[in-house]
Structure 1
Amino acid sequence: MTSPSLVTSDLTIRFGGHVAVNSVSCAFTPGELTVIVGPNGAGKTTYFNLISGQLSASSGTVTKDGVNITGMSPSARAGQGIGRAFQLTNLFPQLTVLENIRLAVQARAGAGWRMFTPVGNFRRLTEKAEHYLEVTRLSKLAHQPAANLPHGDQRKLEVALLMAMEPDVYMFDEPTAGMSLDHAPDVLDLIAGIKADTSKTVLLVEHKMDVVRALADRIIVLHNGELLADGDPTEVMNSQIVRDVYLGRATEGAA
């Protein structure tokens, strides 16, 4: 049996008297794509922020490959193999697509952010960046400023940046948010390709049920910051308590 790559144990965060995530314990294994669902305000993004280090836990732990990373910064967690994509694109808008990816490759290689070093000195890194351009089907846009890309291609570029960092754990927070129906499948195909690598662990926050059905190996449901259900997608989605708390509401008011 594959050992978990990522474990949260009794993970909790309080904002004053409000408990946003309440003692959530989950283990995530390589080769598995877990979709995290729940109503608005359920604590999904907050839970992600606790794992990736954007928020500090009030109590509980986050463990990566047996190492307690609870007190580490987001950059230190990235160094431990935690890769995070956000709801909003996080790019260097004035740099080209290739330059964005090359900076990610340089960071992964420990070459730092020396933007003014001649490109020839980083030929191997540039070739690697071009590989991620090809994988994400962005090669034709290599020399376009990131700011000029349509939203769908910016999301693809963010996936390329994440892939260039070569994490063990991929975290996607509503990856198709704001995307047109034409562009969304491209990003979902990229995530499906990452999922196919059984050495990778993938976590996905999503509210679109068609995306959940297409990608999920496992679903966990958060409600009021607590873990409500965890298991096989069909069983979880057919659970009466989940229908009452989340799926029913989503059906009635979903966009």
Structure 2
Amino acid sequence: MTAPSLATRDLTIRFGGHVAVNAVTAEFYPGTLTVIVGPNGAGKTTYFNLVSGQLPATSGSVFVGGQDVTRLGPARRTRLGVGRAFQLTNLFPHLTVLENVRLAVQSRAGIGMSMLSLWFGHKEVIQRAEHYLERVSMSGKRASLVGTLSHGDQRKLEVAILLALEPSILMFDEPTAGMSVDEVPVVLDLIHQVKAERNRTVLLVEHKMDVVRQLADRIVVLHNGTLVADGQPAEVMQSKIVQEAYLGTPEPA
């Protein structure tokens, strides 16, 4: 059986007397897109913060490729292949769209910012950056300052930057939140493409059930910080706890 690319064991975080994530044990595999659902305050984004290293766990463990990364910070986890979008706006507003993606390409290639590195491989770096901008339909805005972009375009740019880092584990926290109706399909199509490649592990926090139905290979349900359901979409969506708490109890025929 394929080994999990990401796993958590009894992962827990407390804020004072409040347990925000409570002993969550789960495994995630390459080629699978898992959607994490639950009501507001269920612990979904906090769980993401623990996995990506933004928050230190009170107890429990996080494993990436079998390696215990519980004590590693987010930068080290990124180098091990954990990529996260939409937790914060990590864009450079006074640089252009292309320059933001170019920096991600350089980071992935291990090219520093010395004068020599600015010239070495410059053409290839630009070509790679252009490739990722094309994937998010933003080539036409390559010269725009990021600070002038709409919220939706900034989110698409974040996806381009994430893809440019070439992570093996991609984490999307409500990727379509705040987007216009016209902008949503671009990001959903990109996630579909990544899923179709079947060589990466994708985790997605999402409230919109139509998006969940489109994308999920598997659904994990959190409630009050506790994992209460985990399985195939059809099975989980029909479970009593999901019907009552998240989807609404269906009316009798």
Relative to structure 1, the CA distance from residue 209 to residue 115 in structure 2 (aligned partners, 3 Å threshold; closer, same or farther) is farther
- Taking the aligned partners of 1:133 and 1:101, their CA distance within structure 2 comes to 8
* Conserved? CA contact 1:87–1:174, under 8 Å: no
* Structure 2 unaligned spans of 5+: none
Relative to structure 1, the CA distance from residue 196 to residue 70 in structure 2 (aligned partners, 3 Å threshold; closer, same or farther) is same
What does residue 148 of structure 2 align with? 148
SS of equivalent residue, structure 1 residue 161: helix
* Conserved? CA contact 1:87–1:177, under 8 Å: no
Q: Which amino acid aligns with 1:60?
A: G
What does residue 130 of structure 2 align with? 130
After TM superposition, give the deviation of residue 125 of structure 1 in Å.
1.3
Relative to structure 1, the CA distance from residue 119 to residue 210 in structure 2 (aligned partners, 3 Å threshold; closer, same or farther) is farther
After TM superposition, give the deviation of residue 80 of structure 1 in Å.
0.4
What does residue 43 of structure 1 align with? 43
Percent identity over the alignment is: 64
* Conserved? CA contact 1:107–1:113, under 8 Å: no
After TM superposition, the structure 1 stretch with the greater mean CA deviation from structure 2, 234-243 or 35-44, is: 234-243
Deviation by residue 1:186-240 (Cα, 9 ceiling, x = unmatched): 1111111111121100000000011101101100000000001000111101111
What does residue 166 of structure 2 align with? 166
After TM superposition, give the deviation of residue 172 of structure 1 in Å.
0.3
After TM superposition, give the deviation of residue 89 of structure 1 in Å.
3.4
- For residues 87-236 of structure 1, the aligned pairs below 5 Å read 87-113=87-113, 118=118, 122-236=122-236
* Conserved? CA contact 1:4–1:27, under 8 Å: yes
After TM superposition, give the deviation of residue 118 of structure 1 in Å.
4.2
Q: Which amino acid aligns with 1:108?
A: R
* Structure 1 unaligned spans of 5+: none
After TM superposition, the structure 1 stretch with the greater mean CA deviation from structure 2, 137-146 or 6-15, is: 137-146
- Taking the aligned partners of 1:222 and 1:119, their CA distance within structure 2 comes to 49
TM-score (norm. length: structure 2) = 0.94
- RMSD over equivalenced CA pairs, Å: 1.8
After TM superposition, give the deviation of residue 247 of structure 1 in Å.
2.0
TM-score (norm. length: structure 1) = 0.93
What does residue 79 of structure 1 align with? 79
